[in-house]
Structure 1
Amino acid sequence: MQLQAAPLYDDIAPGPDSGRAYWVTAADGRRIRFAAWPCEGARGTVLLFPGRTEYVEKYGAAARDFAARGYAMIAIDWRGQGLADRLSPDIRVGHVEDFHDYQLDADAVMDAVAHLDMPKPWHVIGHSMGGAIGLNAVMNGLPVASAAFTGPMWGISIAPVVRQIGWTLAIVAPKVGFGHKLPPSTRYENYVTSQPFEDNALTRDRDMYDMMRAQIAAHPDLAIGGPTLTWLREALKITREMAARPAPSLPCLTFVGAAERIVDVDRIRTRMASWPGGELVIVPDAEHEVLMEIPETRRTVFDRLVAHFDAAAGAGPGEKPAAQSA
């Protein structure tokens, strides 16, 4: 396997100096970007599955925090966002034709992660839309020792009356040629550039919010705005499909901000209540992005994630798994 170097905007990615980005090609020919941050003496690798609108540079800080705790990390630009192939003639929107296509992206990146010999065991973290992709992946046998999720999109926070309208619109619009249009109340502008810090639904940490805004300002090619009606149809379909499937036999730790407003918290509670050995943590005074909350919250979340990974690998805190000790 030959990996082609891809751009990594180091000026906005506050990660370890080891960071490198690569292009990979999914089975259907779509070009995907991912970034890898190796870590000397790593006890394993975190596979970070980002959310909708996100890009690998946004997780440079997370790579730094995991490296400080002894873990390497990779992050993915899903098709339709970041520097991966865009899927709509209007590059401002987030689009996918079939939610299962994201699994093709994950498969291509997993092949590359193996080629790079990233340290095992591997552990997946799925955030928001990446939580749906990640859950679907582990249900289908993703080769990881454990799973973790932050604000996972196992349902979308929509009022019941609006939900039925949304379903109808999302199903009908693509059939009549409007699948690339935005749902009502969404916009073409990227959320962080159009929403002031006050009352934003992502984080209560102004510095992190300012970082996100500065990243988009420096590299507007990373930005996308609202999702298309086809994306909404696919998101509603996949979350309903997965709700009917049993949880995999895999250690799982899930975090949800106490002030979560983007994803359906009831769906998360239901899933985690039926996950054997799974744990749900409600993070006080936190919004959707607990990995980008105030420093004290971030520190607690990262510490708990690493303890979860260590335990799943059969190692004590800060110790290498037995299979990795040589």
Structure 2
Amino acid sequence: MRQLFDEQSLTTLYHGEITEFWDRHVVLGTFTGQQNVQIHYAFCEPESPRAAIVLSNGRIETLVKYKEFIYDCYRNDIAVYTMDHRGQGLSGRMAIDHQRGYVEQFDDYVVDFSVFVNDIVKPRAPSKPALVCHSMGCAIGYLTASREPELFSRVVFCSPMFGIKPTVPEPLLSVLLMSGLAANYLFGRKPWYAFGQGPYIELPFRLNTLTHSQVRYKLFREEYKRAPALQLGGVTYQWLSTAMDAMNQIEASAKNFPLPTKVLISGADRVVDNQRIHRVVQQFPDADVEVIEGARHELLFESDQYRTPAIQAVLAFVLEAETEVNNA
């Protein structure tokens, strides 16, 4: 495996080598998703790819944020195909206020993702791709792979959104959620932010709970500042309700998940519920679970001591599939 970028080199290479790579080698495109929402995607194919990845990113994220990861894959001869989920990144927003994290039903994410893989990735990919997911993208990826396991060779879940950490006790959360949905339906002309949520805020690094890497945090915040259309605020009652239904569906079906799986859990995660994640993934028929102790939620954007072993684990698992095919 070729060397990965480190924080020291990233400070000088991101706006030079990585940006030049992105402009020269990454192809951008769009397709029409559910309810005529425009979905943006990107792919990058090395000259002689050894494997392929479909990347499903997390809530509020964008393919633009993954420049470093995609270049790491490119330098290791791995093709990457990714898209921005509806309601975030470069893709179309369904709420009039584009800051509000909204989706009508979680299944819309899944149908969009299925169309992307079947219509864009499948005709181009050099081999059956592995699915690599982060956070909310894990819930989307799980549900897609459960329905169409033939699309992927195997799956990597990073800090998966199989449960989220509520800010209030669960019984109270249910009451607040039902009350908020009902009030929004009766009195609101647009989706309401859920309790405690609001517009996009650029938190100073010292207050962030996503990563220990000041360099990577600064770079992705700069991307969002340069292109304000990428910015997204907190979730709405509707998003929270449909996401909780999806997580319940995942837990109920986990024992039947059909693909070989690698699960990377961030040991110091304050976004998703690690206790519930362990409960879910222990039911998977074929899963290797690894905890990156001390890591925060965004494993692929963490400081080197956490990110490097995580990326190495992801790429090794992806390449292992190709080795098995070649030796068969």
Query: Hey, which bits of structure 1, 4+ residues long, moved more than 4 A?
Result: 10-16
Q: 2:86 aligns with which of 69, 79, 91?
A: 79
The structure that is helix-richer by fraction is 2
Counterpart of 1:249 in structure 2 is 258
Counterpart of 1:144 in structure 2 is 152
Higher alpha-carbon deviation: 24-33 or 252-261: 24-33
Q: 1:301 aligns with which of 304, 310, 313?
A: 310
Find out whether 1:114 has 2:98 as its counterpart. no
Find out whether 1:226 has 2:230 as its counterpart. no
Against the structure 1 CA distance between its residues 259 and 46, is the aligned structure 2 distance closer, same or farther, given a 3 Å change threshold?
Answer: same
Q: Note if contact 2:191-2:237 (Cα within 8 Å) is conserved in structure 1.
A: yes
Find out whether 1:185 has 2:196 as its counterpart. yes
| CA deviations over 1:208-254 (Å, ceiling 9, x no partner) | 10011101111111111111111111111111122111342211111
| CA deviations over 1:7-41 (Å, ceiling 9, x no partner) | xxx97974553101100112532210011011121
CA distance in 2, matches of 1:169, 1:285: 37
CA distance in 2, matches of 1:268, 1:247: 16
CA distance in 2, matches of 1:11, 1:79: 28
Q: 1:270 aligns with which of 270, 279, 287?
A: 279
Counterpart of 2:326 in structure 1 is 322
Against the structure 1 CA distance between its residues 169 and 211, is the aligned structure 2 distance closer, same or farther, given a 3 Å change threshold?
Answer: farther
Q: 1:175 aligns with which of 138, 163, 185?
A: 185
Q: Note if contact 1:259-1:285 (Cα within 8 Å) is conserved in structure 2.
A: yes
Q: 1:259 aligns with which of 247, 260, 268?
A: 268
Aligned positions, number: 306
* TM-score, with length taken from structure 2: 0.87
Against the structure 1 CA distance between its residues 170 and 263, is the aligned structure 2 distance closer, same or farther, given a 3 Å change threshold?
Answer: farther
CA distance in 1, matches of 2:256, 2:245: 18
Counterpart of 2:71 in structure 1 is 64
Q: 1:154 aligns with which of 162, 166, 172?
A: 162
* Structure 2: tracts of 5 or more residues without a match: 1-13
Give the % identical residues. Answer: 25
Against the structure 1 CA distance between its residues 205 and 47, is the aligned structure 2 distance closer, same or farther, given a 3 Å change threshold?
Answer: same
Counterpart of 2:134 in structure 1 is 127
* TM-score, with length taken from structure 1: 0.88
Counterpart of 1:213 in structure 2 is 221
Counterpart of 2:98 in structure 1 is 91
CA distance in 2, matches of 1:311, 1:33: 30
Q: CA RMSD in A?
A: 2.1
Higher alpha-carbon deviation: 171-180 or 220-229: 171-180
CA distance in 2, matches of 1:27, 1:268: 29
Q: Note if contact 1:202-1:288 (Cα within 8 Å) is conserved in structure 2.
A: yes
